[in-house]
Amino acid sequence: MKLVKFTKKGIYCIPGKFYLDPWLPVDYAIISHGHADHARNGMTYYLCQTDSKAILKHRLGTDIRVESLNYNEPKMVNGVQVSFHPAGHVIGSAQIRLEYKGFVVVFTGDYKVKNDHLTIPFEPVKCHEFITESTFGLPIYNWLAEEQLRQQMHDWVFKNQSHNRTSVFLGYSLGKAQRIMKLMEGVDKMYVHSAIHNLNAAIESSGIALPQTELLTYDFKNDELQNKIVILPPGLLGSKLLKKIPNAATAICSGWMQIRGNRRWQAVDAGFAVSDHADWNGLLSAVKASEAEKVYVTHGSQATFSKYLNEIGIPSAEVKTEYGSEEDDKEVVTEKTAVS
Amino acid sequence: MKHFSELISAIEITNKTNSKIDALVDYMNVAPEKDKLWIITLFTGKRPSRPVKTALMRQWCLEITGYPEWLFLESYSSVGDLGETIALMLPDPTHKIEKTLSAWMEELVALRPQSDANKKAYVLNAWSGLEMQERLIFNKLIGGSFRIGVSKKTLVNALAKYSGIDANQLMHSIIGNWNINTISFDDLIKGEHINYDNSKPYPFCLAYALEKELPELGEPQDWQVEYKWDGIRGQIVKRNGEIFIWSRGEELVTSQFPELVSAMTTFKDDFVIDGEILALKDNAVLLFNDLQKRLNRKTISKKMLEEIPVGFYVYDILEWNGKDIRSKPMVYRRQILENLVTSDTLPHFIVISQVITFKNWHELDAIRNQAREFNSEGLMLKQKDSPYHTGRKKGDWWKWKVDPLTIDAVMIYAQKGSGRRSSKYTDYTFAVKKDEGLVTVAKAYSGLTDVEITEISRFVNKNAIEKFGPVRTVKPELVFEIAFEGIAFSNRHKSGVALRFPRILRWRRDKTVADIDTIEQVKLLITNPT
């Protein structure tokens, strides 16, 4: 049965007449999560998970027409039963399950299988066809256990403090920033950039509790930040704001930091492989748990991962999409927006 | 190995030399004696021979993980480093091993003559007892470079900071002959061993590229000007009847140049002289391309000796009959050198570097531009009262190369770099027009900014034809100006030409593939076919 097809505008559900995370304007868009390469402007109507609603409004405009569902709450759209299931990627992220005449397709959006104690953990969903991301679809990407990662990051902050340095983490406003906040909770006072602060406010408006942070204003006093923790969006690497922070030690938080070459490419003091995507074993376990007859592999290492799945006996094909194969979508936070 | 692992982490992340030095000093403050000796060994290229072949390590990794080889290679081309790829792919450790650096190194040395089965048992036990970062270091200890940007000079500066001993002396001490089993760290850095060492070279005096206008150098008569040659910079040490040839990489290359060794025996004095090893035929200097054919061979055949004879152009004298004269002025050293190298009994291929006579700075520019005609790279300008400095020092010696040759070429292949560059496509192959198609003329790795490399990597990702393997064929669209020092006909290259030191001069965003050079135009640049 052909329930979905891959089109120029995005993943299209044929009987349901709607799109999943489309990249061109369509009438009806079902959105997996709030990152800019998945939730784009210009759709007439949006459907998303409850915790994503405020994020979508914050990013796409309060005037968008958007409806939301809780996890596991089904809705019929043109005879297709649609439901959202936890993807563990960022707050409000969901796998989208479609069922039509007993045939089930699951589109993962982005996901991670490890519990970060912040987002609702990933739940495997059985299906006939599984459409999975593959951002880190190489066996060199296997994340440290959350406890070990936390320890490494704490040790780094303590070492910085012993040299009277301020620890600056760079991480994307939606997802990574909250993740860093959670990992750093209780270590010391945290300051966040306004882009992160505003997103935090949107998330909290859905009734989700986040670790306590302060808004980093441009007129901070020099000794105010010493030995503290600052979280900035990655676009501010090399910015005036970052240079203004005295004695800053800077760390990039991204799954790509798993590789030495990547850590050393940027002139920073540390790189931590903190990722909101599934690692290699995570991807494999999700694919296996889906028990799908056919696996479509999208953004990332689609050629490699799908070739490997075929070799281990799971029929698979790669699909070209317009989702970012970077760990995080392109977020434009410049000096200008930094002041606002 | 915890301290060593922390040292590597601290060094690899920073690109500031001072931070690297601080990390090394921190390490030396806590490391056991023997580990410090090993650090010097590892960072000066004196490491023991590889005890385990990489092919075996790769095979064992595949056996453990059960992954197909193509997946391993795909991962390898993303990481750019074999030891790291293996370290990343292996499963989590099952137990914990803690040993000092020297314990690991001694075990690895002892492992070398053993059977493959013993090697396998040893390596697999280590792999399952180490965390990722330590596992990576273990693989690096077996073989391969750390690629963390610690030069001998950085190490020496760290040792100097740690011990308070003069950096020049330290350089001298660590590059000489010493044995890790018979020397203590203290004796090594104090240089207890080097007095007995007939082989010791001096650190080379290096020049910066000329960065000012000639008149700013002052009076022409205060400068000694010589031709700059493109061979192998070398130091010939003759002490107590023994002869050693060192290359600038502080490598002993004596056995590669038997004719130079026998020529040196005709001298009765002892000395250390600095000069250039060049391929010489009929008193003319051949291109580096020719000299290269003789390098790094286990044995030099008679045929090779006849086809590509080498000679030595002598630049300077550093030690004379046991006396270090590096601090004496250039003119003084030159006088000694002239007395030494003008003897009639010398073979014709030991040549004193010619001093160029010129009246004014203006004249010198014309002389420089003719240099390529006889395969010289340009000029060297040396202050007449300058000492022979240790390393690179600004002001007394300048190199002034002929302007490079350039062509416009289009990028056709891209490959990921290694080490720091493994995340981006940094190594490119360029082509020029030939008939209706294109032909490869050069590979180049340097000359672009990080921002440009990032942009090009994005282009490669979007436009690549292959999905697998390390090399990506890209649409011939991006045009670059390629600079190089020399060009020669070559049978080994499909284009029929070989370029010397090609590098990217600039990205020509204003040009399209229609504007690039043809192979015929490129061949016209060859003025001196050999």
The answer, yes or no, to whether residue B524 has pLDDT greater than 80, is yes
- In angstroms, the CA A35 to CA B417 distance is 31
Active site annotation includes B228: yes
Strand A129-134 to A103-107 pairing: parallel
Looking at residue A281, what is its pLDDT?
A: 96
pLDDT at A326: 55
Q: Which residue of B has its CA nearest to A137?
A: B75
Q: CB-based burial of residue B100 (10 Å sphere; 0-12 exposed, 13-18 middle, 19+ buried)?
A: middle
Q: Is the dihedral of CA B289, B295, B300, B305 positive or negative?
A: positive
Q: What is the pLDDT of residues B195-238, one digit of tens each?
A: 546 778 888 999 999 988 888 999 999 999 999 999 999 999 99
Q: In the prediction, which pLDDT does A185 show? A: 95
A2-26 confidence digits (pLDDT tens): 899 999 999 999 999 999 999 999 9
User: Which pLDDT score is estimated for A338?
Assistant: 40
Pick the CATH number of A146-272 from 3.50.30.30, 3.40.50.10890, 3.30.530.20, 3.40.50.920: 3.40.50.10890
Q: Which residue stretches of chain A have pLDDT < 50?
A: 328-330, 332, 334-340
Q: What is the CATH number of domain A4-140+276-324?
A: 3.60.15.10
| Topology at the third CATH level for domain B205-401 | D-amino Acid Aminotransferase; Chain A, domain 1 (3.30.470)
Residue among A139, A270, A311 minimizing CB distance to B13:
A270
| B1 vs A200: CA distance, rounded Å | 42
Pick the CATH number of B405-523 from 2.60.120.10, 2.40.30.30, 2.40.50.140, 2.40.50.100: 2.40.50.140
pLDDT of residue B196: 47
User: Whole-angstrom distance between the N-terminal and C-terminal Cα of chain B?
Assistant: 54
Candidates B118, B59, B119; CA nearest to B89 is B59
Which one-letter DSSP state was computed for residue A47?
Answer: E
Segment B8-30 mean pLDDT: 88
Sign of the alpha-carbon torsion through A302, A305, A308, A313: negative
Indicate which residue of B228, B238, B416, B424 is catalytic. Answer: B228
Residue B253's pLDDT is what? 81
Name the band, by pLDDT with cuts 50, 70 and 90, for residue B424: confident
Residue pointed to by tokens 């054919």: B293
Q: What is the pLDDT of residue B385?
A: 94
Domain ranges of chain A: 4-140+276-324, 146-272
Helices (H), B94-220: 101-111, 116-127, 132-142, 152-163, 167-175, 185-190
Q: Which of B95-109, B149-163, B376-390 has the lowest mean pLDDT?
A: B149-163
Question: Where along chain B do the CATH 1.10.3260.10 domains lie?
Answer: 2-142
Query: Percent of chain B scored above 70 by pLDDT?
Result: 95
> For a pLDDT cut of 70, what percent of chain A falls above it?
95
B149: left (phi over 0), alpha (psi -120 to 50) or beta: left
Per-residue burial over A60-75, b if 16 or more Cβ lie within 10 Å, else e, is beeebebebbebeeee
CA distances from B518 to A64, A209, A297, B344, B442 (A): 57, 66, 43, 50, 13
User: If you count DSSP H runs as helices and E runs as strands, how many of each does chain A have, helices first?
Assistant: 9, 19
pLDDT at residue A327, rounded to an integer: 53
Average pLDDT, chain B: 89
How far apart (Å, rounded) are the C-alpha atoms in residues A235 and A331? 7
Give phi and psi for B65, each to the nearest 5.
-85, -25
Residue B527 pLDDT grade (very low, low, confident, very high; cuts 50, 70, 90) = low
**Does B45 score more than 80 pLDDT?**
no
Element (H, E) at B264: helix B258-264
Residue A159 forms contact with B (CB below 8 Å): no
Please say if the pLDDT value at position B419 is more than 70.
no
Ranking A77-91, A223-237, B158-172, B474-488 by mean pLDDT, the lowest is B158-172
Residues of B with CB under 8 A from a CB of A: 12-15, 65, 67-68, 70-71, 74-75, 78-81, 84-85, 88-89, 136, 417-424, 450, 467-468
For B355-405, the pLDDT digits (tens) are 999 989 989 988 998 898 888 989 999 999 999 998 888 889 999 998 888
Q: What confidence tens digit (pLDDT) does each residue in B57-75 have?
A: 999 999 999 999 999 999 9
Q: How far apart are CA B335 and CA B337, in angstroms?
A: 5
Query: For residue A134, which residues of chain B lie inside 8 Å, CB to CB?
Result: none
Residue from B274, B277, B284, B266 nearest B311 by CA: B277
As given in the structure block, the two tokens for residue B4 are 């060593």
Over the range A141-179, which residues count as b (16 or more CB within 10 Å of their CB) and which as e? bbbbebeebbeebbebbeebbeeebbbbbbbbbbbbbbb
Residues of B within 8 A of A270 (CB-CB) are 13
Specify the domain boundaries for CATH 2.40.50.140 within chain B. 405-523
Choose, out of B15, B70, B73, B75, the residue to mutate when testing the contact with A (most A CBs < 10 Å): B75
Place of tokens 């023991």: B48
A140 vs B89, B450, B468: nearest CB: B89
Q: What is the C-alpha to C-alpha distance for residues B287 and B281, in angstroms, rounded to an integer? A: 11
Amino acid occupying residue B361: W
**CATH 1.10.3260.10, domain B2-142, yes or no:** yes
CB contact under 8 A, B81 and A265: no
CB environment B106-137: b (16+ within 10 A), e (fewer): bebeeeeeeeeeebbebbeebbbbbbbbbbbb
CA-based nearest distance B54→chain A, Å: 18
Report helix, strand or coil for A256.
helix
Q: How far is CA B457 from CA A133, A330, B75, B467, in A?
A: 22, 16, 18, 14
Q: Is A115 left (phi over 0), alpha (psi -120 to 50) or beta?
A: beta
Beta-strand runs (E) in B303-436: 310-320, 323-324, 350-352, 376-383, 391-392, 397-401, 405-416, 425-434
B167 pLDDT above the threshold of 80:
no
ipTM, two decimals? 0.91
The nearest CA of chain A is from the CA of B88 a distance in Å of: 5
